[in-house]
Amino acid sequence: MDIRGAVDAAVPTNIIAAKAAEVRANLVNWQSYLQSQMISVEDCEFIKKFEVANSEEKQVILTNEGHQCAKTFLNLMAHISKEQTVQYILTLIDDTLQENHQRVNIFFDYAKKTKNTAWSYFLPMLNRQDLFTVHMAARIIAKLAAWGRDLMEGSDLNYYFNWIKSQLSSQNLHGTGPETGSGAGTISPSESSQYVQCVAGCLQLMLRVNEYRFAWVEADGVNCITAVLSNKCGFQLQYQMIFCVWLLAFSPQLCEQLRRYNVVPALSDILQESVKEKVTRIILAAFRNLLEKSAERETRQEYALAMIQCKVLKQLENLEQQKYDDEDITEDIKFLLERLGESVQDLSSFDEYSSELKSGRLEWSPVHKSEKFWRENAVRLNEKNYELLKILTRLLEVSDDPQVIAVAAHDIGEYVRHYPRGKRVIEQLGGKQLVMNHMHHEDQLVRYNALLAVQKLMVHNWSSPHPLSP
């Protein structure tokens, strides 16, 4: 799938487009602003000439008078406070940039001469009350940052990404006053969700640029994405958030970092319930990137095992039976079936256990009750600085699923029983107290397994009089 075409097509414009059409229809009386001495003669003459020009004429004007164009747009924004007029100016700027991406350079040239950044004129507008104004400014910032010759960085980028995160996290954009021309003090849930989609569209545009992908991950943006996906959002926002994961997974180094965020379980859940072909397509494309772009064999294997653990193989087999017009889907299904099929061949019981544990979705699969498994593998839970044990204790602390808690308590008991120094390790990790906390759990199976685990923790020595080092 081609990034550029896919991203351009993915930015939704429904509510913005409808409002923009309304804004364009309300022509501004520039002469009145001139008579009030709010704008200069130069700016008045230029904007009147520019707004009536056709596409070819605008291109000539921008080629010959790019500096004046940027100067006039920004002067009008700075000197006029009437919301309807500000909306009109922003719409004109957005239309100008959308028609030809190279036109962002008129703002970069102007900013360089005035010792500013191209987006510094628009970032303060993110604090305004009117939703249309805010989101048109956000779109323009994204276009300048994604299409421009200079990268947004430092405090400007942090500010913009934090604004995006706050909007996505709320999923309910608040305007304290009525929108100009709307006559209503609040917006409907439908309008609210469409504005959130506009924010997601800005992020999609930004993440086309590799440097911004790293900055987004650094800003804890992946947790923001997974939180939106876990919040049962509508399919359009689902699609956009998964699209962002797909873009992030184009960077091999970020594939390494994405391991920490449990994206595979989140996407496999959506795949299982998806009824929209475009959502299915983007999940498969994201899965393919995770397996194909990861530089390390261990990382590829970990993603493959996570997919197997989350029953993706079965879902792929079901999807394979269907017919698709989109060749990308067919090719991705074939690729994933081959890769996951190879991984199944190499799957050891410890790989299976490790993958299940990392998914956070413990169930009573055979390995948990296997004496042979624990005898051979208990010591391996110490690997990578007790990585798997830390996950077990974390699940005891944060999970609200009785089955997960019961299995985790059982596994801690088995670890202690089969690894002579296990009791000390579990105590150091805080696991003993966490298990004891569940002895009075409302679920009978949790109580039973917590009690058994505590009994094993209380026994001084299971098998060897000589403690072993990990």
User: Which whole number is the average pLDDT over 384-391?
Assistant: 95
- Ranges in the chain annotated CATH 1.25.10.10: 220-347
pLDDT at 468: 35
- Ranges in the chain annotated CATH 1.25.40.150: 366-458
* CATH H-level superfamily of 366-458: V-type ATPase, subunit H, C-terminal domain (1.25.40.150)
**Per-residue pLDDT reduced to its tens digit, 92-128:** 999 999 999 999 999 999 999 989 999 999 999 999 9
**pTM for the structure as a whole:** 0.77
pLDDT at 18: 87
Residue 174's pLDDT band, with cuts at 50, 70 and 90, is very low
Per-residue pLDDT at 344 exceeds 90: no
**Per-residue pLDDT reduced to its tens digit, 15-68:** 888 889 999 998 899 999 999 999 999 999 999 999 999 989 999 999 999 999
**Per-residue pLDDT reduced to its tens digit, 69-81:** 999 999 999 999 9
* CATH H-level superfamily of 220-347: Leucine-rich Repeat Variant (1.25.10.10)
pLDDT at 467: 37
Per-residue pLDDT at 5 exceeds 90: no
Residue 173's pLDDT band, with cuts at 50, 70 and 90, is very low
Per-residue pLDDT at 394 exceeds 70: yes
pLDDT at 189: 76
pLDDT at 184: 37
Least confident of 172-181, 294-303, 322-331: 172-181
Per-residue pLDDT at 365 exceeds 70: yes
**Per-residue pLDDT reduced to its tens digit, 263-310:** 999 999 999 998 899 999 999 999 999 999 999 988 998 899 899 888
Per-residue pLDDT at 465 exceeds 80: no
pLDDT at 182: 38
Fold designation for 12-169+190-208 = Leucine-rich Repeat Variant (1.25.10)
Per-residue pLDDT at 194 exceeds 80: yes
Torsion (CA) 317, 321, 327, 330 in degrees, nearest 10: 10
